[in-house]
Amino acid sequence: MLNRKLIQGLVFKRRGHCSPSGLTSLLALLLTLLPVGLWGQDPEFLVSRSPVGRPGGRLVVSLRAEPKTLLPLNALDASSKEIQGLLHADLIHIHRPSQETRSALAQQWSRSRDGMRYTLRLRRGLKFSDGQPLTVADVLFTFQVLLDEAVKAPGRDLLRVEGKFPTLRAVGEDSVEVALPAPYAPAERLFDSIAILPRHKLEAAYRSGKILEKWTMGAAASEIAGTGPFRLKEYLPGQRMVFERNPHYWKRDSAGVRLPYLNEVVMIFSPNPEAELLRFRAGESHLHSRLTARGYSSLSGLPPQERPMLQDLGPGLEQHFLFFNQNDLTGSGMSALLAKRSWLQDVRFRRAISLAIDRAGIARLVFQGKASVLSSHVSPGNRLWFSGASSLPARSVEEARRQLKAMGLILKGDVLVDPSGSPVSFTIAMNAANSEQRQMAAIIQEDLRGLGITVALAPLEFRSLIDRVLNTKDYEAAILALRDGDVDPTAQMPMLLSNGRMHFWRPNQAQPATEWEAEIDRLMKRQISDGNEKRRKENYAQVQRIISRELPFLALVSPHVLIAAHRNLRNVQPSVLAPHLIDGLDEMYWAAENNKP
């Protein structure tokens, strides 16, 4: 019910590789030429490619949790990040629907031949929401604060390349040059979601070492300035946040109307999904990006004149998987675990389990069919990197039995026993707050009962679970979910590299414990510095093949992203990348007068 998405926190920062598309550059070029004479003082607008809409109106969106901070430097939780997208803007933005990078505050950018230096030119005439101009100094200030070791901003490490940080300097009046410490294929994606901060508001606090205490949720609206489509108007703790249109926003539509269209956006907080759904259905909120399959089918059952716009975007980047404890436990004193090690850490055992699990059943029963069965750790929702190279062997209990028999695990009556005669049984730990994972576990439990394996389930509170998996390593098997923030494989590095902290099954290895882990290390390191996209994809496909052969974790399913929007809303651009709907708020508009609250 609460924190139903355990994946909170396992949000991987988006990184990726993509050069500006030809079209974008052409458009940007046109735009630099066009507006100078036409609008005089007006900024060098980014022109929206969406249909022209009508201004006005108020939109209500419900957030699952209350944002924790208004300061982008502090934003760790999903809600704060969503709010950040309304209030602030970045230099280069990942366009969520296409998963590609696009120009934002930086009007254009170029890459040096060695791939180590990027030059970004700012749009002319940019202004913060309080009317103050945005200059190169603000950009430099933002990065200075972000990279300052003394500030300890949690987002700092996102900029780390090969252990070192990039350096910035001003080039001329309107450009900055970013020097990377090493070649980095997806460098443009680094800039996404780095909000450019107003120096005039924050510099004093930064100098006195108190910048992280600024812009808390209690801060006055007048204190906050940004370059996002909206600005803060009012905050009622625990109830709602009200945003008004930023009159200095830097986008316009093709008819010349300055965006955003909406006058006001209200964020309400619905910690429980029931109230969220009830509100949406009652028309009290207008966007719903976390629909469950049941919610989806209940909305689609409404009469046509009441039915909202509904879309099944297919599998998202979220995936659930089962894995077994592969840590070297010698000398750990966990005797119960040590006794099971011989089969628990055998790849044939994992294969047998994988063969016996009814993944299609999970997708059908737990997600009412609104989920896709996974064959590797790359979800089909990842359009750029899903290779389809690995295929899942068909479910076969007989084959699973054969595998187990080959390992020396034999059926005695109804019970599978190991060579020492003790029954084969293990405990699956999962997030207690995630009812979907509890149901998955119940299905797996029933499936494995057919093999004679007794599975116990231990729902744990989320932080206790993570503590067990990553620190104390006192567990046998666990179900976790990952939700990648970005599609680029670089996001997977901490999980795939054998010395990674997120190498769930055996984290922080000094030396790769197995040959195949060493091979993955090599492939992943090779792809990151490679500018050639085709070779990167080949390398990554190889990694996917190794994973599905060795099964360090059993990928189960990837739920579909189901969204709903009010039927009179236009320019709704949903994406499988989070946030699924509100990234395009600046272009959304109300089609009919009567739905303009």
Partner 1 sequence: MPATQTSERVPGWVSVVLSRSLQAAVTLGLLSFCSFALFEWIPGDFLTETAASPAVSPETLAGLRDRYGLDTPLGIRYASWLEGLTRGQLGPSLSYHRDAMGLLLPRLGATVLLNLTALLVALVVALPLAIFAAQNPESRFAGWVGRGMQASLALPELVLVLALFAVAQAYGVPMPGGAAAPADESWLGGLYSLLTGLATPAIALAAGTAPSYFGHMRAAWSEALAESYVIAARQAGLPPKVVRWRYLFPAAANPMVSLLGGSLGGILSASLLVETVTGWPGLGPLLLEAVFSRDVYVVVGAVMFAASAQMAGNLAADLVILRMDPRIRS
Partner 2 sequence: MTRPAWRLQAVSALAIWYALLAGFAWMAPYSWREQHREFASAPPTAIRFVDPTGVWRMPFVCSLAPAPDSPGSYREDCAVRHDVWLFGRAQDGRMVVLCPEQPGVLFLFGTDELGRDIFSRSLAGGLVTFATGVVATLVALFLAFLGGSLAGLLGGWPDLLISRGTELLMALPALYLLLALRAALPIQTPPLLAFALAVALISLLGWARPARLLRGVVMSSRGEGYVLAARGFGAGPVYLLRKHIFPRLRGVLGAQAAVLLPQFMLVEVALSFLGLGVAEPLPSWGTMLSSIQYDLVADRRSWLGFPAILLTASILISGRVARAMELRSQPAGGAPRETTP
| Of residues 187 and 466, the one with the C-beta less far from partner 1 | 466
Out of 3, 132, 345, 454, name the contact with partner 1 by CB under 8 A. 3
SS3 268: strand
CB closer to partner 2 out of 380 and 459: 459
CB neighbours of residue 74 within 10 Å: 20
Spatial separation of the C-alpha atoms in residues 337 and 332, rounded to whole Å: 10
Q: Which does 222 bind (CB under 5 to 8 A by kind): partner 2, partner 1, none?
A: none
Q: Could you tell me the smallest distance in angstroms from the CB atom of residue 317 to partner 2?
A: 23
* Backbone phi, psi, residue 424, to 5°: -85, 115
Chain residues that interact with partner 2, rule: CB under 8 A: 1-2, 272-274, 277-278, 292, 294-295, 297-298, 336, 358, 361, 364-366, 368-369, 427, 429, 431-435, 438-439, 441-443, 445-446, 456-461, 464, 467-468, 474-476
577 contact, one of partner 2, partner 1, none, CB 5-8 Å limit per kind: none
Site string for partner 1, 217-246 (x = CB under 8 A): xx-----------------xxxxx------
Q: Of partner 1, partner 2, none, which one does residue 515 interact with (CB within 5 to 8 Å by kind)? A: none
Instruction: Name all contacts of 533-540 with Cβ < 8 Å and 24+ positions apart.
Output: 533/17, 536/17, 536/185, 536/489, 537/385, 537/387, 540/378, 540/385, 540/387, 540/489
State the binding partner of 297 from partner 2, partner 1, none, CB within 5 to 8 A by kind: partner 2
Rounded CA separation 497/504 (Å):
10
- In the complex with partner 2, the residue whose CB is nearer, 235 or 475, is 475
Helices (H), 259-408: 273-281, 293-300, 335-344, 347-356, 359-365, 397-406
Q: How far is the CB of 459 from partner 1 (least distance, A)?
A: 14
513, 514, 518, 425: which is closest to 477 by C-alpha? Answer: 425
Q: Which of partner 1, partner 2, none lies near 439, with the C-beta cut-off 5 to 8 A by kind?
A: partner 2
Q: Which whole-number Å values give the CA distances from 371 to 7, 86, 471, 489, in the listed order?
A: 16, 30, 31, 22
Nearer to partner 1, 369 or 494 (CB): 494
- Measured from the CB atom, the residue of 34 and 278 that comes closer to partner 2 is 278
Closest CA to 441 of 317, 296, 557: 557
Stretch that binds partner 1, among 24-32, 493-501, 544-552, 571-579 (CB under 8 A): 493-501
Place of tokens 């020097």: 179
Instruction: Select from 39, 38, 574, 25 the least CA-distant residue to 316.
Output: 574
Please, is 90 exposed, middle or buried when counting C-beta atoms within 10 Å of its C-beta (0-12, 13-18, 19+)?
buried
Burial 92-114 (b: 16+ CB within 10 A, else e): bbbbbeebbbbbbbbbbbebeee
**Count of chain residues binding partner 1 (CB under 8 A):** 67
Q: What's the token pair of residue 282?
A: 């009652």
Kindly tell me which of 80 and 437 has the beta carbon lying closer to partner 2. 437
464 binds partner 1 (CB under 8 A): yes
Binding residues for partner 1 restricted to 258-317, rule: CB under 8 A? 266, 268-272, 274-275, 278-279, 281-282, 284-285
What residue ranges in 405-447 does DSSP mark as E strands? 410-412, 415-417, 425-431
What minimum distance in Å lies between the beta carbon of 281 and partner 2?
Answer: 9
- Specify whether the CB–CB gap between 276 and 287 falls below 8 A: no
Find the part of the chain contacting partner 1 (CB under 8 A) among 38-46, 154-162, 541-549, 578-586: 154-162
Sites of contact with partner 1 (CB under 8 A): 1-3, 8-13, 60, 65, 68-69, 71, 74, 76-77, 149, 152, 154-158, 160, 212-213, 216-218, 236-240, 266, 268-272, 274-275, 278-279, 281-282, 284-285, 433, 461-464, 466-468, 470, 472, 491, 493-495, 500-502, 597
